Structure 1
Amino acid sequence: MDSFLVGLLVFAAFVILVLVKTAVVVPQRSEYVVERLGKYRATLAAGFHVLIPFIDKVAYRRNLKEEPLDIPSQTCITADNVTLEVDGVLYMQVVDSRLSAYGIADYHFAAMQLAQTSLRSAIGKITLDNTFEARESLNRQVVDALDEAAQNWGVKVLRYEIRDIQPPTSVLDSMEKQMKAERDKRAEIARSEGERQAKINRAEGEKAQAIALSEGEKMRRINEAEGRAQEILKVAQASAEGIRKVAAALNEVGGRDAANLEVAQKYVEQFGHLAKAGNTLIIPANLADVPSMVATVMATLKTDGKPESGRQRETA
């Protein structure tokens, strides 16, 4: 009985082993490389497959998804002999499972080594200052070098990204000083530009102010001149009007007698003012005979006031 149970267990284990060796399920986005008696037989796509037990076996399992591969940090020397520590990430994808299995022993290791050597070669052609600006160019050069070699490996290199560039401490200190000097230079330029613009603005303001003052002074003088001209015109018009009115009054009845009387009064008043204004006075010889002097003046005015025709008749 014990022998029967042992035999049953052995048979069951054999059946399970046969099933495991026979039935194969390939996951999505994967491929299995099957060998028959040590030779390549087929590449199994995703799905259920049946193999011949103990004759067929799954030799390689390949993932067709995009794979990121970490590239360790390495020492690179630039064209100006500066040592840099550079690392990165490589993205690749298996496109032919058979070539990836038989074209190279380990495509991961091969891609990593080739990426490092390609990057060292690319960095050795540029200077330190251009290294940080040429990341895209360096990435493209690494991808081109890897993709050309990976065609025989059944692998497609999609992209490479430099993750970090670490210069030596002494270079970092020099770069910091250079950056500080550059910042100070830009600050000084900005400050000088500000002062220059401020001076220009002040000069333009003073110019505008001077123009405004000169325009104001010009308008003031023009206004004053126009005012004086108006004043002279008004005075002249008033004088002309006064003369016209005097002439009209003289032509009226009794006008010339009134004018003669006014002239006599003015004559007497002016002699009175002369007596008050100074110590030296020149007077007529008959100044004491005021009535005679007034009569003489009035007679003179009366004679001057006669019409021209009358005076001509008296003269005749």
Structure 2
Amino acid sequence: MMETSILVLTLVVLAIVFIILSVKIVPQGWEYTVERFGQYIKTLGPGLHIITPFVEQVGRKLNMMEQVLDVPEQEVITRDNAMVTVDGVVFYQILDAPKAAYEVRQLELAILNLTMTNLRTVMGSMDLDELLSQRDQINAQLLTVVDLATNPWGVKVTRIEIKDISPPRDLVESMGRQMKAERDKRASILVAEGQKQATILEAEGRREAAWRDAEARERLAEAEARATTLVSEAIGKGGMGAVNYFVAQKYVEALQSLAVAPNQKVLMLPMETTGVLGSLAGIAEIAKEALRPDPSSGGSGGGGGGATARTPRPTAPSAAPSPPGTGAGMASALSPSSLMPSVPAGPWAAPPPS
């Protein structure tokens, strides 16, 4: 009886061990390789699986999710003999579990060493300026090389990123001075170009202004020529009376401008006080000539054509003529004797000479 109980208990224990060894549960994102007497036969995906105990066993447990490896810092000498310290990260994913399990030993270490070696190769073929400004190009070259090298291992390298590039401190200071010098140079060039453009624009503006001034003077000269022509025609038609009218008008305007001057303490008068009366007399003469009756209208008188007889007013002998342009000459030109018209004889006039 006792022996039977022990046998049954033994069979139960063996059954439990057999079930434990034969049932395999694979979690999501993982794959197991199965070996029969040490030889690979199949791959178990996520889920529940049963294998033959003692004959088949799980060989490798592989993570099929994308994984990250940190590339440790290392010193790299560039093409222009500058030493920099570089580190980065590698993203990879296992696509073929049997190859990743049996084609390479220590997969992560192999990927890491391969990345570090190619990192030195790629960055050592570039100058420091290219190294600092073309990180995308470095990442692309590294990704191409490392992915091609890991393809036989059933691994896909999805991304390689350079985290930091650290030049020596003295080199950083030199680069700062170089950058400042280049910026100062560009600033000087921009200032010079701006001054050049300003000078060109100023010259063009002066040229345009000169052309406009010349055009304005030309228009003014044309207007003055036309006005002179019209005045000449008016004088030709009106005789000396029109000349006296224009002279008297300008004379009165000059006196008016003197009278309204802001400086009220000084008053300038003509040399002959009767000059204004002479100008007014000239205007009166023009008016009388305009109101004179037309001889062709049949006026009385013989041989005179109806004109009223006028007796010239005697004038006093003048002094020696003054040279033209002097005050005396202008005064004599505008004196009542020259501008005063001939008026009919009256009781105030002297009798005509016999």
Q: Return 5+ residue gaps in structure 2 as ranges.
A: 243-285, 322-350
- Cα shift at 1:152: 2.2
2:135 paired with 1:135? yes
Assess, with a 3 A threshold, how the Cα gap between structure 1 residues 98 and 206 changes in structure 2: closer, same or farther: same
Q: Return 5+ residue gaps in structure 1 as ranges.
A: 281-289, 294-316
Matched with 1:287 is: none
Q: Would you say the 8 A contact 1:85–1:167 is kept in 2?
A: yes
Alignment of 1:232-271 (within 5 A): 232-239=232-239, 249=295, 252-254=298-300, 256-257=303-304, 259=307, 261-262=309-310, 265-266=311-312, 269=313
Using the alignment, how far apart are the partners of 2:43 and 2:115 within structure 1?
29
2:277 paired with 1:277? no
Using the alignment, how far apart are the partners of 2:215 and 2:28 within structure 1?
90
Letter in 1 for 2:295: A
Letter in 1 for 2:68: P
Assess, with a 3 A threshold, how the Cα gap between structure 1 residues 199 and 28 changes in structure 2: closer, same or farther: same
TM-score, normalised to structure 1's length?
A: 0.74
> How many residues in Structure 1 have an aligned counterpart in Structure 2?
275
CA RMSD of aligned residues (A): 3.5
Assess, with a 3 A threshold, how the Cα gap between structure 1 residues 238 and 13 changes in structure 2: closer, same or farther: farther
Letter in 1 for 2:35: E
- Cα shift at 1:205: 2.9
Q: Would you say the 8 A contact 1:250–1:259 is kept in 2?
A: no
Q: Would you say the 8 A contact 1:66–1:92 is kept in 2?
A: yes
Identify the structure with bigger relative contact order (alpha carbons < 8 Å, sequence gap 6+): 1
Assess, with a 3 A threshold, how the Cα gap between structure 1 residues 217 and 14 changes in structure 2: closer, same or farther: farther
Alignment of 1:10-159 (within 5 A): 17-159=17-159
Cα deviations by residue, 1:13-67 (Å, 9 ceiling, x for unpaired): 7655443322222233332111223221211122221122333222212222222
- Cα shift at 1:102: 0.7
- Cα shift at 1:8: 9.6
Assess, with a 3 A threshold, how the Cα gap between structure 1 residues 142 and 126 changes in structure 2: closer, same or farther: same
- Cα shift at 1:223: 1.8
Using the alignment, how far apart are the partners of 2:10 and 2:186 within structure 1?
86
- Cα shift at 1:80: 1.4
- Cα shift at 1:238: 3.5
Assess, with a 3 A threshold, how the Cα gap between structure 1 residues 71 and 8 changes in structure 2: closer, same or farther: farther
Assess, with a 3 A threshold, how the Cα gap between structure 1 residues 291 and 107 changes in structure 2: closer, same or farther: closer
- Cα shift at 1:78: 0.9
- Cα shift at 1:12: 7.2
- Cα shift at 1:150: 1.3
Using the alignment, how far apart are the partners of 1:212 and 1:143 within structure 2?
69
Using the alignment, how far apart are the partners of 1:70 and 1:16 within structure 2?
44
Using the alignment, how far apart are the partners of 2:352 and 2:152 within structure 1?
155
Using the alignment, how far apart are the partners of 2:6 and 2:219 within structure 1?
131
Assess, with a 3 A threshold, how the Cα gap between structure 1 residues 143 and 5 changes in structure 2: closer, same or farther: farther
Letter in 2 for 1:140: A
Using the alignment, how far apart are the partners of 1:71 and 1:9 within structure 2?
55
Using the alignment, how far apart are the partners of 1:42 and 1:97 within structure 2?
10
Letter in 2 for 1:174: S
Alignment of 1:173-188 (within 5 A): 173-188=173-188
Cα deviations by residue, 1:74-125 (Å, 9 ceiling, x for unpaired): 1111111111111112121211110111111111111110111111112222
Using the alignment, how far apart are the partners of 2:6 and 2:46 within structure 1?
38
Using the alignment, how far apart are the partners of 1:174 and 1:291 within structure 2?
116
- Cα shift at 1:210: 2.6
Assess, with a 3 A threshold, how the Cα gap between structure 1 residues 62 and 69 changes in structure 2: closer, same or farther: same
Helix, strand or coil for the counterpart of 1:215?
helix
Matched with 1:218 is: 218
Using the alignment, how far apart are the partners of 1:36 and 1:199 within structure 2?
92
Helix, strand or coil for the counterpart of 2:104?
coil
Cα deviations by residue, 1:236-284 (Å, 9 ceiling, x for unpaired): 344499999989517844353354833xx13xx2xx21x342489xxxx
TM-score, normalised to structure 2's length?
A: 0.67
Helix, strand or coil for the counterpart of 1:80?
coil
Letter in 1 for 2:122: A
Matched with 1:199 is: 199
- Cα shift at 1:7: 10
Assess, with a 3 A threshold, how the Cα gap between structure 1 residues 5 and 227 changes in structure 2: closer, same or farther: farther
Helix, strand or coil for the counterpart of 2:126?
coil
Letter in 2 for 1:277: S
Assess, with a 3 A threshold, how the Cα gap between structure 1 residues 244 and 176 changes in structure 2: closer, same or farther: closer
Cα deviations by residue, 1:210-247 (Å, 9 ceiling, x for unpaired): 33333322222222222222222233344499999989
Assess, with a 3 A threshold, how the Cα gap between structure 1 residues 10 and 228 changes in structure 2: closer, same or farther: farther
